[in-house]
Amino acid sequence: MKIGMSHGAGGEVMQNLISDIILKNIKNKRVNGGVGLDDLDDGASIPLGDLEIVLSTDGHTVDPLFFPGGDIGKLSIAGTVNDIAVMGAKPLAITNGMVIREGFPADDLETIVKSMDAVCQETGVSIITGDTKVMEQGKLDEMIITTTGIGVVNKGEIKRDSSLKVGDKIILSGSVGDHGMALMSYREGFGFDTDLQSDVAPIWEIVEKALAIGGVTSMKDPTRGGLANALNEIANKSGVGLLVEEDKIPLKEPVIAVSEMLGIDPYEVANEGKVIIGVEKELADETLSAIRKTRYGAQAQIIGEVTEDNHVILETSLGGKRILEAPIADPVPRVC
Amino acid sequence: MKIGMSHGAGGEVMQNLISDIILKNIKNKRVNGGVGLDDLDDGASIPLGDLEIVLSTDGHTVDPLFFPGGDIGKLSIAGTVNDIAVMGAKPLAITNGMVIREGFPADDLETIVKSMDAVCQETGVSIITGDTKVMEQGKLDEMIITTTGIGVVNKGEIKRDSSLKVGDKIILSGSVGDHGMALMSYREGFGFDTDLQSDVAPIWEIVEKALAIGGVTSMKDPTRGGLANALNEIANKSGVGLLVEEDKIPLKEPVIAVSEMLGIDPYEVANEGKVIIGVEKELADETLSAIRKTRYGAQAQIIGEVTEDNHVILETSLGGKRILEAPIADPVPRVC
Ligand SMILES: Nc1ncnc2c1ncn2[C@@H]1O[C@H](COP(=O)(O)OP(=O)(O)OP(=O)(O)O)[C@@H](O)[C@H]1O
Ligand SMILES: Nc1ncnc2c1ncn2[C@@H]1O[C@H](COP(=O)(O)OP(=O)(O)OP(=O)(O)O)[C@@H](O)[C@H]1O
Ligand SMILES: [Mg+2]
Ligand SMILES: [Mg+2]
Ligand SMILES: [Mg+2]
Ligand SMILES: [Mg+2]
Ligand SMILES: [Mg+2]
Ligand SMILES: [Mg+2]
């Protein structure tokens, strides 16, 4: 077998690769009984004293590096902050591994570092260590940034992507499809002159406010594979079903337009500034109000609820129902 | 300015890039008063309760992926274990960020993952989370692995690369130049049929045994830029000089042969299984004995001592002295 693009595209094909080649061949998968490799959560944890240390890593290969709404610098910090946040941990610090193509303009590198710094300042995280490698012309397309984040949470308060309970409400923090569609339409030549922008943003503030209400059961950031992948993952791992009111899922006009034009499902493409939150029914409205007051949560919606079923069902306002499947692979490559 | 190969080659040129473009543009550089970005140590730290959490990251772009003595999998785990170890921390876990070229053979990926696993088992560390991305044919040369390690040390017991004291002895754990020269000679076409092998190995056992004696003041792994770079770094950062007996520096016969043939200084090329340890004079012999009993420390030597000077001086057995300068850049590219 040879590695294909879909092995890096956040769907079923990637999951199989990770199970068959990575999990199978690694013996030591966790530390101190924390969240480990085979939990396949957004990150992992190491219990230490009264705290649990949370770690998460992502390599960023986005093409192009500068896209409508952001760049690889903003993406790398926000993406890592978000994976720490959805574990329920406060992000503290990030490590910055850069691999750069020989001949890359130093000015662009500086712009990217400044973007990283801006998100760090916004979220109160620090870049504490890093690494720089250079590859010859022709051996690497521009640059790759691999960020690893560390966060902390009180022992026992970690949030897993497998702990939805029947009856919980599902909150989505805003519109979906923006990031994948913005990249796709830019690549198709629509350029920066469009209303379509990536949603790339750190969602820690949303999570922090939601956690403070006390009813959060489970969270996930719907990145590669989009809403469809993330909803199926949290439902499957929790052993539950979801009933989602399709009309409640926020979708921007230009996202709908481009998705129809290109024949790409906006539910299957990556988001980079959104979070799906499962909340106890009684605290759902209060949690929603708190989220709506945050910088990136104004459009948040309760989109559905957790059922005893074992599928993710979309229901239209006319009562039509269909199963929302997880994609085999994200239809837009190299988005993050 | 454009990025050149020397910007990723572990010498003065890389240090300037990091200062001018990275440090200058990042505001939040440390957490809780721990070791931070502008300390430019082998990793960073976050004090938490009675402990200090140590983090370090390295991107691995070694060419070729499989080389005499190891492969990128072994290199990525050993390299990260070693940076955590030289901070005086016990390595606990590693994150595994992989970026793979489309078309890469799945069998090779499996071999690499097994190599990672072997070093993890040897050192008792776990791989707890990771990420997988794929880039199109022609956009990436084979694969890049970025590993981030986490370790712990009691508060106040962290070892810095800037804390040598005048009078300390300098221990080198074994021969230098093996990794860089093995790669170079392999690339020159000498193939695997040579005595020259990379030294890639985890040095945590050496460090653990040395720390137990109680006299360690400072450590560093002499990777890119080799012994010359590492000795100059620890001396400069500590504000001291070093007097090194050149005859005590272990050098293997084939390393000498190849370095003469290719005109490359074995002190300036990368090692991947060595450590330089500063030790209080009184405990130097005991520390050396302990190190010599470890798997990778049998050839360890006391190579010199810390002086009030501000240079690294090499002294031959005939009494000739010369200054050992830090290289502008490691003469062998893409070694780690
Ligand atoms: N190369 C790898 N080695 C070890 N674990 C991996 C590797 N690739 C992925 N994983 C694990 O698989 C799971 C899914 O990874 P994935 O990257 O999809 O999560 P994510 O970071 O939340 O999503 P995204 O990368 O789209 O932001 C995670 O638990 C991750 O730790
Ligand atoms: N892109 C970067 N962002 C932030 N810090 C960086 C970056 N590149 C290097 N650094 C910092 O510069 C210092 C030197 O890095 P370097 O990679 O040489 O250390 P090392 O990992 O010990 O050596 P090697 O990479 O050869 O194994 C470290 O403190 C590192 O944190
Ligand atoms: Mg995630
Ligand atoms: Mg992620
Ligand atoms: Mg490094
Ligand atoms: Mg180091
Ligand atoms: Mg290193
Ligand atoms: Mg990921």
Q: Do A51 and A155 meet the contact criterion of CB atoms below 8 Å apart?
A: yes
A202 — phi, psi (to 5°)?
Answer: -80, 130
Residue A71 has pLDDT above 90, yes or no: yes
Q: What is the pLDDT of residue A175?
A: 98
Q: What is the pLDDT of residue B192?
A: 60
> Which residues of chain B have a CB within 8 Å of the CB of A90?
none
- Cα–Cα distances (Å) from B218 to A15, A83, B8, B21, B137, in that order, read 43, 35, 25, 28, 44
Distance (Å) from the C-alpha of residue A18 to the closest C-alpha of chain B? 8
Whether A329 maps to a domain, the answer reads: no
Best residue of A3, A54, A87, A150 to probe chain B, by most B CBs closer than 10 Å: A3
For B109, which residue in chain A has the nearest alpha carbon?
A21
Residue B38 has pLDDT above 70, yes or no: yes
Q: What is the pLDDT of residue A193?
A: 62
Instruction: Give CA–CA dist B247/B263, Å, rounded.
Output: 20
Q: Give the mean pLDDT of chain A.
A: 96
Of B27, B42, B274, the one to substitute when testing ligand 2's pocket (max ligand atoms within 8 A of C-beta) is B42
Question: In this structure, what token pair is assigned to residue B300?
Answer: 């360890």
Q: Do A50 and A154 meet the contact criterion of CB atoms below 8 Å apart?
A: yes
Per-residue pLDDT band at B93 (split at 50, 70, 90)? very high
DSSP state of B281: G
Q: Are residues A147 and A202 in the same domain?
A: no
Over residues B181-219, the pLDDT tens digits come to 999 999 988 766 668 999 999 999 999 999 999 999 999
Amino acid letter, residue B76? S
DSSP state of B249: S
Instruction: Give CA–CA dist B199/B178, Å, rounded.
Output: 6
Over residues A6-42, the pLDDT tens digits come to 999 999 999 999 999 999 999 999 999 999 999 999 9
Angle of CA points B124, B39, B149, to nearest 5°: 20
Residue A231 vs residue A188, higher pLDDT: A231
Q: Are residues A146 and A183 in the same domain?
A: no
Is the alpha carbon torsion for B277, B279, B284, B290 positive or negative? negative
Q: Are residues A39 and A176 in the same domain?
A: no
Whether B5 maps to a domain, the answer reads: no
Helix (H, G, I), strand (E, B) or coil at B178: helix
Q: How far is C-alpha A27 from the geometric centre of its chain's CA atoms? A: 27
Q: Do A114 and B17 meet the contact criterion of CB atoms below 8 Å apart?
A: no
Domain's final residue, options B119, B154, B189:
B154
Q: Do A112 and A72 meet the contact criterion of CB atoms below 8 Å apart?
A: yes
Over residues B129-173, the pLDDT tens digits come to 999 999 999 999 999 999 999 999 999 999 999 999 999 999 999
B130 lines ligand 1 (CB under 6 A): yes
Q: How far, in Å, from the CA of B8 to the mean position of ligand 5?
A: 10
Residues with Cβ within 8 Å of B138's Cβ and at least 6 positions away in sequence, in order, are none
Q: In what order do the strands lie in the sheet with A169-172?
A: A216-220, A276-279, A169-172, A301-307, A241-245, A312-315, A321-323
Whether the CB of B150 is below 8 Å from some CB of chain A: the reply is yes
Per-residue pLDDT band at B10 (split at 50, 70, 90)? very high
Residue A192 has pLDDT above 90, yes or no: no
DSSP state of B40: -
Residue B272 has pLDDT above 80, yes or no: yes
Q: Greatest CA separation found in chain A? A: 58
Q: Where are the alpha helices (DSSP H) in chain B?
A: 12-17, 72-85, 106-123, 178-185, 204-213, 226-238, 253-262, 284-292
Whether B41 maps to a domain, the answer reads: yes
Whether A328 maps to a domain, the answer reads: no
Task: Tell me the residue range of the domain where A294 lies.
Answer: 169-323
Number of residues that make up chain A: 336
Residues with Cβ within 8 Å of A1's Cβ and at least 6 positions away in sequence, in order, are B105, B106, B107
Around Cβ A4, how many Cβ atoms within 10 Å?
A: 16
Instruction: Give CA–CA dist B323/B241, Å, rounded.
Output: 10
For residue B223, what is the domain's CATH number?
Answer: 3.90.650.10
Q: Are residues A181 and A276 in the same domain?
A: yes
Instruction: Give CA–CA dist A11/A165, Å, rounded.
Output: 24
Q: How far, in Å, from the CA of B194 to the mean position of ligand 6?
A: 28
Whether the CB of B44 is below 8 Å from some CB of chain A: the reply is yes
Instruction: Give CA–CA dist B203/B294, Å, rounded.
Output: 9
Residue B326 has pLDDT above 80, yes or no: yes
What string of DSSP letters covers A294-326?
STT-TT-EEEEEEESSSSEEEE-TTS-EEE-PP
Q: Are residues A71 and A189 in the same domain?
A: no
Q: Are residues B116 and B40 in the same domain?
A: yes
Instruction: Give CA–CA dist B79/B146, Å, rounded.
Output: 10
Instruction: Give CA–CA dist B92/B76, Å, rounded.
Output: 15
Q: Are residues A176 and A318 in the same domain?
A: yes
Q: What is the pLDDT of residue A127?
A: 99
* Bridging pattern class, strands B126-135 and B90-101: parallel
Determine which of A10-19, A190-199, B2-11, B48-57 has the lowest per-residue pLDDT on average. Answer: A190-199
Around Cβ A159, how many Cβ atoms within 10 Å?
A: 25
Of A37, A198, A272, the one to substitute when testing ligand 1's pocket (max ligand atoms within 8 A of C-beta) is A37
Q: Do B116 and B77 meet the contact criterion of CB atoms below 8 Å apart?
A: yes
Best residue of A41, A52, A148 to probe chain B, by most B CBs closer than 10 Å: A148
Mean pLDDT of A279-286: 98
Instruction: Give CA–CA dist B198/A39, Å, rounded.
Output: 35
Whether B164 maps to a domain, the answer reads: no
Q: What is the pLDDT of residue B188?
A: 87
Q: What is the pLDDT of residue B234?
A: 98
Q: Are residues A190 and A143 in the same domain?
A: no
Over residues A80-136, the pLDDT tens digits come to 999 999 999 999 999 999 999 999 999 999 999 999 999 999 999 999 999 999 999
Give pTM, 2 decimals: 0.98
Mean pLDDT of A292-299: 98
Helix (H, G, I), strand (E, B) or coil at A86: coil
Helix (H, G, I), strand (E, B) or coil at B81: helix
Question: In this structure, what token pair is assigned to residue A42?
Answer: 């957004």
Q: Are residues A213 and A247 in the same domain?
A: yes
- Cα–Cα distances (Å) from B138 to A61, A118, B98, B100, B112, in that order, read 14, 33, 17, 12, 21
Of B224, B231, B233, B272, the one to substitute when testing ligand 2's pocket (max ligand atoms within 8 A of C-beta) is B224
Residues with Cβ within 8 Å of B229's Cβ and at least 6 positions away in sequence, in order, are B10, B11, B222, B268, B326, B327, B330
Q: Are residues A190 and A301 in the same domain?
A: yes
How many CB pairs lie under 8 A apart between chains A and B?
308
Whether A223 maps to a domain, the answer reads: yes
Q: What is the pLDDT of residue B193?
A: 62
Q: How far is C-alpha A37 from the geometric centre of its chain's CA atoms? A: 18
Q: Please state the domain count of chain A.
A: 2
Whether A203 maps to a domain, the answer reads: yes
Whether B195 maps to a domain, the answer reads: yes
Around Cβ B127, how many Cβ atoms within 10 Å?
A: 26
Q: Do B178 and B271 meet the contact criterion of CB atoms below 8 Å apart?
A: yes
Helix (H, G, I), strand (E, B) or coil at B323: strand
Q: Where are the alpha helices (DSSP H) in chain A?
A: 12-17, 72-85, 106-123, 178-185, 204-213, 226-238, 253-262, 284-292
Question: In this structure, what token pair is assigned to residue A291?
Answer: 């989220």
Q: What is the pLDDT of residue B195?
A: 80
Q: What is the pLDDT of residue A188?
A: 87
For B22, which residue in chain A has the nearest alpha carbon?
A113
Q: What is the pLDDT of residue A195?
A: 80
Q: Are residues B205 and B266 in the same domain?
A: yes
Distance (Å) from the C-alpha of residue B123 to the closest C-alpha of chain A? 10
Ligand 2 binding residues, C-beta < 6 A: A 96, 98, 127, 129-132; B 10, 18, 22, 37, 40-42, 58, 79, 83, 223-224, 336
For residue A127, the surrounding DSSP H or E stretch is strand A126-135
For residue B119, what is the domain's CATH number?
Answer: 3.30.1330.10
Q: Are residues B130 and B209 in the same domain?
A: no
Q: CA dihedral defined by B66, B70, B75, B76, rounded to 10 degrees? A: 60
What string of DSSP letters covers A37-90?
GGG--SSEEEEETTEEEEEEEEEE--SSSEETTEEHHHHHHHHHHHHHHTTT-E
Q: How far is C-alpha B4 from the geometric centre of its chain's CA atoms? A: 22
Percent of chain B whose predicted confidence (pLDDT) is above 90: 96
Residue A58 has pLDDT above 70, yes or no: yes
Mean pLDDT of A208-228: 98
Angle of CA points A68, A70, A73, to nearest 5°: 150
Q: Do A172 and A226 meet the contact criterion of CB atoms below 8 Å apart?
A: no
Helix (H, G, I), strand (E, B) or coil at A256: helix
